[in-house]
Every structure is written in structure tokens, then in C-alpha cells.
């Protein structure tokens, strides 16, 4: 035997740390579930062409709707395609930034390896 006690030195201090880590992980998991529900209800808009094209996504990038103005339709197929793509990219970026920011808020100060 190594003389470090049962478990090769895995004493009560380590067990307390482990218990705290599990509690924190559970808090994060519960918060993440609430966050997921919140993100599903959000409407995040991206637009292009000065508002001629608008794309709306949820906070977790689920498409909700696209709005295309009569002006945009007159621009022709190639320009319209570019406008829709640009609006989609903006909505996606805003949605991703929102999700990332909320996750950082949720996990800040917890010091859980792999989450912060």
C-alpha cells in the first residue's frame, strides 16, 4: 500500500470538490434547458438592401420567415439571391452571437473544465 489511504489519495477534500462540480454542472444543465426554451421563442432579424430583404430566425437558428419587398423583386434574380443570402448571414451571425453570449453568462464563474 502506498500509505495515502484508500483510493490512492482520493480523500474527502477531493470528494467535496467533485460534489461541488456535480452541483454546478447540474445548475448549468438546468440553465441550459431554460436558455434553449428562451432561444426557441426569440425572433432575430437580419436584413440587407436597406431593409428590402429581411430574414427572421429563432435564437437557435431555426428559420421563421423571410420578407422580400416589391423593390427587391424588381432587382432581378441574381441581385435578389445576393440580398437574401446577405440577410440570412446577418440573421445567423446575430443569432449565433446571442446564443454564445447567453451561454457565457450561464457558465461564467463556475470554473467547470470544458464549459468555461
Question: Nearest CA to 102 among 28, 47, 45, 46?
Answer: 28
The predicted structure's pLDDT at residue 61: 92
Q: How far apart are CA 93 and CA 96, in angstroms?
A: 5
**Cα angle, residue 101 at apex, residues 82 and 104 outer, rounded to 5°:** 145
Q: Where are the beta strands (DSSP E) in the chain?
A: 44-48, 53-57, 63-68
User: 12-107 domain in CATH 3.40.50.2000?
Assistant: no
The predicted structure's pLDDT at residue 114: 54
Query: What is the pLDDT tens value at each position of the chain, 116 positions in all?
Result: 444 445 455 566 678 878 877 887 788 888 888 988 999 999 999 999 999 999 999 998 999 999 999 999 999 999 999 999 999 999 999 999 998 998 888 877 665 555 44
Domain residue ranges of the chain, discontinuous segments joined by +? 12-107
Specify burial of residue 52 (Cβ count, 10 A radius: 0-12, 13-18, 19+).
buried
Q: How far apart are CA 116 and CA 103, in angstroms?
A: 9
The predicted structure's pLDDT at residue 92: 96
Amino acid at each position: 500500500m502506498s500509505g495515502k489511504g484508500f483510493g490512492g489519495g482520493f480523500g474527502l477534500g477531493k470528494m467535496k470538490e467533485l460534489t461541488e462540480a456535480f452541483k454546478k454542472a447540474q445548475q448549468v444543465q438546468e440553465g441550459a434547458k431554460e436558455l434553449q426554451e428562451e432561444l426557441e421563442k426569440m425572433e432575430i432579424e437580419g436584413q440587407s438592401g436597406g431593409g428590402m430583404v429581411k430574414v427572421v430566425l429563432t435564437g437557435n437558428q431555426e428559420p421563421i420567415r423571410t420578407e422580400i419587398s416589391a423593390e427587391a423583386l424588381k432587382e432581378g434574380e441574381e441581385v435578389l439571391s445576393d440580398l437574401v443570402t446577405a440577410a440570412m448571414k446577418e440573421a445567423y451571425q446575430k443569432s449565433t452571437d446571442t446564443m454564445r453570449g447567453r451561454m457565457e453568462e450561464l457558465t461564467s464563474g463556475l470554473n467547470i473544465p470544458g464549459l468555461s
